[in-house]
Amino acid sequence: MPSNATATPFELERGSASEFLSVTTPPPASVWKPHEEDDASANRPKRWLRLLNEYRVAEFGATLVMFLVAKSFTLLAVNDRPIPRIEIRLNSTTTVYARDPTVDEKKLYEQVPMWSLIVFGLGIPILTNLLLNFVLPKIRDVRVIPHDVRDFLLSLAQGVTMSTLLTQFTKHVTGRFRPSFYDMCGWDYDAVWDGVTNLCTDAAGEKEGRKSFPSGHASFAWVTMLLLTLYLLGRSRLNCSRRSESAVRGGTKALKLFLCFVPCLAASWVAITRSIDNWHHYSDILAGSIIGAISACLAYSYNYGSIFCWKYAGLPCEAIHEKIKSESMNNNQEAQGKLVNRNTRVSSSQRV
From the candidates 35, 280, 281, 321, give the one annotated as an active-site residue: 280
Q: Are 215 and 221 in contact (CB under 8 A)?
A: no
Query: Would you give the DSSP letter of residue 248?
Result: H
What whole-number distance in Å separates Cα of residue 167 and Cα of residue 285? 11
Q: Are 247 and 319 in contact (CB under 8 A)?
A: no
From the candidates 147, 217, 281, 321, give the one annotated as an active-site residue: 217
∠ Cα 240 293 254 (to 5°): 30
For the question of residue 217 being annotated catalytic, the response is yes
What whole-number distance in Å separates Cα of residue 114 and Cα of residue 287? 18
* Max CA separation in the chain (angstroms): 144
Annotate 267-300 with b (16+ C-beta within 10 A) or e (fewer): bbebbebbbebbbbbeebbebbbebbbbbbeebb
Task: Please report which helix (H) or strand (E) contains residue 278, including its range.
Answer: none
Specify the long-range contacts of residues 47-52, CB closer than 8 Å, at least 24 apart. Answer: none
Nearest Cα to 299, choosing from 229, 352, 251, 204?
A: 229
Pure H helices in the chain: 9-14, 36-43, 47-54, 57-72, 114-130, 136-139, 148-174, 181-184, 203-209, 216-236, 247-276, 282-303, 317-351
What whole-number distance in Å separates Cα of residue 312 and Cα of residue 323? 9
The residues that bridge with 316 in the sheet, in sequence order, are: 304
Calculate the CA 226 to chain-centre distance.
11
- Catalytic positions are 217, 280
